Amino acid sequence: MKIAVMSCIHGNYAALDAVLLDIDRQKAEKIYCLGDLVGYGPYPNAVVEQIRSLDIPTVQGCWDEDIVEGLNACDCSYPSLLAEKRGKIAHEWTNKQVNPEVREYLAQLPHTYKEDNLCFVHGSPNSNHEYLLPEMDAFTALERVLSSDADLLFCGHTHVPYVRTLDSGQLQVKVHQPNQNKQPTVSFNTPLKRIINVGSVGEPRHGRPNATYVIYDTETQAVNLQEVEYDYQTTCAAILDAGLPPIFAWRLARGLEFAEKADDPTHVCER
């Protein structure tokens, strides 16, 4: 069966519409969504209503969570104080725009979704806010997949698509036991695991403005990273018309994340 997996739509209805049309052309039999339906973009309600109308299995993203629970920004959530200020403006604008039905829908979304040997999350099985970056330590990345009890972990959140294969073979773990001179080592075998980051429909950051998503064949296990052109200039104009920070339109048109030098270096997360 061919399935389509998408993430990070961010209120960009034009991008969502283009991706849905492409999914239809690819003849995918089922669609999954990894959250962040809202935030940054000008059409949060329309995006959620479309996802709901198609009954697409969807997990909660960090923006969806924050709109429901309130802004969950720590001191290291943004690369600079200016970026944090823009993020708060976007949060406040989106919070005012979403209607009660949309808020209720976002509130009931699960953090993870399992189907057979596949697991779908926004950030990681641990948190909507955790980034599974391609350069993450292999042991840590493998632990995240193992914690999902799946062979294949689909995620988003970074807005940059990638496929990572974790061929672990035999792992050896030292188990710390107090009051023992020699610490025991536990060995176990794990089958091949994969992390598939599906990128972003509505705010890509891979260097081009095209929307990205993934087609996965459950029989052949083939992964195709799809890139879809759409009229991003319409969304950029709507961002400006809505009074959202113009930098959101700038980075959408370039497929980049704009991160200026931090105003205060102590504000940047070093972890």
Domains and CATH numbers, the chain: 2-253 (3.60.21.10)
Quickly state the pLDDT bin for 178 (edges 50, 70, 90): low
Condensed to tens digits (0 to 9), the pLDDT of residues 83-118 reads: 778 889 999 999 999 999 999 999 999 999 999 999
Residue 9 scores a pLDDT above 70: yes
- CB-CB contact of 171 with 190 (8 Å): yes
CA distances for 217 relative to 38, 70, 117, 145, 222, angstroms: 28, 38, 13, 19, 5
- pLDDT, residue 263, reads 46
- State the pLDDT at residue 192: 78
Burial of 70 (0-12, 13-18, 19+ CB in 10 A): exposed
Structure confidence at residue 87 (pLDDT): 86
Question: Where does the pLDDT of residue 259 fall: very low under 50, low under 70, confident under 90, or very high at 90 and above?
Answer: low
- What angle, rounded to 10 degrees, do the helices at 100-107 and 44-53 form? 60
Q: For residue 171, is pLDDT > 70?
A: no
pTM for this structure? 0.87
DSSP strands (E only) in 89-218: 112-115, 118-121, 152-155, 162-166, 169-174, 185-190, 193-197, 211-217
Q: For residue 43, is pLDDT > 70?
A: yes
SS3 content of the chain, % helix, strand, coil (to 5): 35, 20, 45
pLDDT (tens digit, 9 = 90+) per residue, 59-84?
Answer: 999 999 999 988 764 434 566 677 77
Give whole-number Cα distances, 91 to 41, 60, 71, 122, 244, in Å: 11, 16, 7, 18, 10
pLDDT at res. 54: 98
**From CA 58, how far away is CA 33, in angstroms rounded?**
5
Q: Residue 212 and residue 7: Cα distance in Å, rounded? A: 9
What is each CA distance from 123 to 7, 103, 144, 252, in whole angstroms?
10, 20, 11, 21
